[in-house]
Amino acid sequence: MKLVAFDTQLLIWGVQGTSHPSQGQLIPRARALIEELSKAQVKVIIPLAAAVEYVCGFAVVDQPKQWDRLSKSFRLIPFDQRAAQIAAQIERRRHEAKATPQKKATKKTASKRRSTDIARQKVKVDVQILATAIAAGAESIFTDEVAHFSELASGLKIKVLNLKSRDYQTQFPFTE
């Protein structure tokens, strides 16, 4: 059976059924994709890091219902040792690509490093999502952040797909 992974935004559009007003057309498109994948017997997996991003958007009292909904509709995949190994490779490549000659740390550079911690945390979650999908054997991942995920996935065996693209159907790795 073929596997496809979803990033958080696909859950927001396809499961929760909400979007920014300018993205309203993506709700029925995401829901149609989920149905099409089911009919084609393609298994949709959700990396647990993406599921956490999705569920934390709900009030605590509503979260158990959301976990139940996700686990009944999709296969939730943990960030395990294999995924951690892949994540370490992705992070190392990313850091090497951005490497600059080492500078002596000053108070100013230390402060600048702290100011980027939030962005770095976002990257780390996305790396976990991508690495989990790869470790589980997903052939592709649907995300709203195509450029970012494509950069992270460079050289890895996974296709990064975008639901916003009108021709996303032709990119499906599971259509023969």
Q: What is the pLDDT of residues 40-71, one digit of tens each?
A: 889 999 999 999 999 999 999 999 999 999 99
Residue 154 lies in a domain: yes
Please tell me what DSSP assigns to residue 47: E
Residue 32 lies in a domain: yes
How many domains, in total, are found in the chain?
1
Reply yes or no on whether the pLDDT at 164 is more than 60.
Answer: yes
Residue 176 lies in a domain: no
Percent of the chain with pLDDT over 90: 57
Reply yes or no on whether the pLDDT at 22 is more than 90.
Answer: no
Q: How many CB atoms lie within 10 A of CB 45?
A: 20
158, 137 Cβ separation under 8 angstroms: no
The residue segments making up the domain with residue 43 are: 3-171
Q: Average pLDDT of the chain?
A: 84
Query: In this structure, what CATH number is given to the domain that contains residue 157?
Result: 3.40.50.1010
Residue 100 lies in a domain: yes
Name the nearest CA neighbour of 95 among 130, 127, 64: 127
**Is 0.85 surpassed by the pTM of this model?**
no
User: pLDDT tens digits, residue range 85-129?
Assistant: 999 999 888 888 776 555 545 555 544 444 455 466 667 899 999
Q: How do strand 43-47 and strand 159-161 relate by DSSP bridges?
A: unpaired
Residue 86 lies in a domain: yes
